[in-house]
Amino acid sequence: MTQLPKTTPWSPDDVIAVLRDLAQAEDLPAHLATDAIKPEDTVDTLGIDSLGGAFLIERFEEMTGTLMPDDFLDLSDNIAVIAERLTALTQKAG
């Protein structure tokens, strides 16, 4: 599993690394383990549904030690936006 310091600002690459981990763990579509993923890709255009999104949030909470707000993730969010939100949350929590 990807390990990131809680206080590190999140980059799109960090989020992509989490997606790849979860794909390898078979919680997210297998193709995400190797596909080219861009910061502007949205969650739904990666083939992730709301249940997959729940596993994604679970991993973010585990890595940041911070509870994600209920409206943290929308399937139309892109990777860059998620990274910005995670940075803001961890800075607030830190």
Which residues of the chain form contacts with another protein (CB under 8 A)?
26, 28-31, 34-35, 44-52, 54-55, 57-58, 61-62, 70-71
Q: What is the closest distance, in whole angstroms, from the C-beta atom of residue 44 to another protein in the complex?
A: 6
The residue among 4, 71, 80, 86 whose CA lies nearest residue 43 is 80
Quote the least distance from Cβ 78 to another protein, whole Å: 14
- Placement of tokens 């890709």 in the chain: 41
Shorter beta-carbon distance to another protein: residue 28 or 89: 28
Q: Which is nearer to another protein, 9 or 74 (CB)?
A: 74
Angle at CA of residue 60, ends 56 and 65, nearest 5°: 150
Q: Which is nearer to another protein, 45 or 91 (CB)?
A: 45
CB of 62 to another protein, least distance (A): 8
**Single-letter amino acid code for the residue at 6:** K
**How far is residue 40's CA from residue 66's CA, in Å, rounded to a whole number?**
25
First-residue to last-residue Cα distance in the chain: 22
